[in-house]
Amino acid sequence: MRRRLLALLVAPLVALLAAPGGLPLADASRAADPRRPDQYALEALRLPPAWARTRGADTVIAVVDTGVDLDHPDLVDHLLPGADLVDGDGEPDDPNGHGTHVAGLAAAVGGNDEGIIGAAPEARLLPVRVLRADGSGSARTIADGVAWAVAHGARVVNLSLGGSGLAPALFRNGPLNRAVRDAANRGVLVVVAAGNDAATETAYRPTVPVLVVNASDAAAAPAPFTTWGDPVAVAAPGVDVVSTAPPGPTTRWPTGTDGYAAMDGTSMSAGLVSGVAALLLAQGLSADEARDVLVTTARNPGDDPRLGAGVVDADAAVTEASLRHPLPLDDADEATGGRFAAWLAPLVVVGAAVVLPAAALALVRRRARARP
């Protein structure tokens, strides 16, 4: 009798654990994304715990760059129809490889048995090609790319121009400056790479509404090549960062790749932060709020000015966002894909281990006292 009562009480918990949306007993993303162990940047940015609250569902990140590999298996399910402003068509494929790498860091598909997982694994990618195969481009074309992205639904615009030598000149007034201001006025967050010149300079005027990203390394120290000096910058990993790459020959990889490659640069840092920004926008923050949260929750225990405000802390940022914009229960369930928040798992398991046996014992004793 006792065993039967205990089985009846424990059965619902067993069913909960076995359900498709049940408790996260293991980090399924590691098994489902084979190159996940190579992605030290995810832990450095504290992304895994942040995903329990938000995964950036359907937030559109525009990658304004050299294009994106339109057939890459880790990107194709997230790609929206884009534009090629270099060749003037609707096929923004990537003859260089740089844009494909940035796109994967921002929003590569997670849990699909392919290589990696992006910072915002449920966001959408809007590829806009504005740079030629050699990585060069004009301020006018880049500005047109920003405007096109904004007009086609981008919530985040990523400008990883730090390695091209364009950054210092682009924001000294001119068409790109105006395009970025217009994007901000329309509620779009523009994330830009600081540059790779190992120099102290402010390439972007303080009044230009962008989020500048410096580069850090695996030890959360400043990368030796990072440009720094912007008064309101953050940092993210930019050294030996693994992401998606075109498998065929490109300017950057003439002999091709296995679909993945490691790169250095503030371009990689900006791609990661664009993904984190998408997590916050999916929680209901405005572009200005998201920029403020990313800056105020960043970690810089040594107050190193080369890290700006510090290395982005995605978990702290999404926690702060949830305090500013608490979601109704139905929306919160949708934001996490119907999954329990990871921090609830141990509470439920411990509670069940204590409460269910106690309840069973109390019921048995009550029945025993009730017998004549």
Residue 167, pLDDT score = 54
Cα distances (Å, whole numbers) of residue 180 to 134, 139, 149, 202: 24, 12, 11, 16
Alpha carbon distance 189, 176 (integer Å): 14
Average pLDDT (31-45) is 94
Q: What is the pLDDT of residue 18?
A: 42
Sign, Cα dihedral of 267, 156, 180, 291: negative
- The mean predicted confidence, pLDDT, of the chain is 84
- Max avg pLDDT among 24-38, 47-61, 332-346: 47-61
Taking residues 48-59, what's their average pLDDT? Answer: 97
Question: In 10 A of CB 151, how many CB atoms?
Answer: 10
Supply 249's token pair.
Answer: 């020959």
| Residue with the larger pLDDT of the pair 26 and 93 | 93
pTM of the predicted protein model: 0.82
Give the Cα separation of 222 and 232 in Å (integer).
Answer: 16
Q: Confidence class of residue 277 from pLDDT cuts 50, 70 and 90?
A: very high
Residue-level pLDDT at 78: 98
The class level of CATH for 29-335 reads: alpha beta
- Identify the bridge partners of residue 192 per DSSP, sorted by sequence position: 159, 212
Q: Show Cβ contacts of residue 82 under 8 Å, excluding neighbours closer than 6 positions.
A: 68, 90, 92, 126, 127, 128, 129
Contact (Cβ atoms closer than 8 angstroms) between residue 239 and residue 95: no
| CB of 268 closer than 8 Å to CB of 191 | no
The residues annotated with a catalytic role in the active site are 65, 98, 267
pLDDT(34) > 60: yes
pLDDT of residue 347: 47
Residue ranges matching CATH 3.40.50.200 in the chain: 29-335
Q: For residues 200 and 283, which has the higher predicted lDDT (pLDDT)? A: 283
Q: What does the pLDDT average to over 271-281?
A: 98
> Helices 174-185 and 139-151 sit at what angle, rounded to 10 degrees?
10
- Of 312, 277, 281, 279, nearest to 297 by C-alpha is 312
How far is it, in rounded angstroms, from Cα 44 to Cα 279? 16
What the block records as the tokens of 102 is: 């940035």
Does the pLDDT value for residue 28 go beyond 60?
no
pLDDT number for residue 176: 84
Is pLDDT above 60 for 25? no
25: region left, alpha or beta (phi > 0 left; psi from -120 to 50 alpha): alpha
For 120-162, how does the pLDDT look when each residue is reduced to its tens digit (9 = 90+)? 999 999 999 999 999 998 889 999 999 999 999 999 999 998 6
Question: 91-123: per-residue pLDDT in tens?
Answer: 999 999 999 999 999 999 999 999 999 999 999
pLDDT single digits (tens) 341-368: 444 444 444 455 555 565 556 555 666 5
CA atoms within 13 A on the CB side of 173: 0
What is the pLDDT, as a whole number, of residue 328? 60
pLDDT at res. 223: 98
pLDDT of residue 246: 98
Confidence of residue 170 (pLDDT cuts 50, 70, 90): low
- Of 142-146, 163-167, 281-285, minimum mean pLDDT range: 163-167
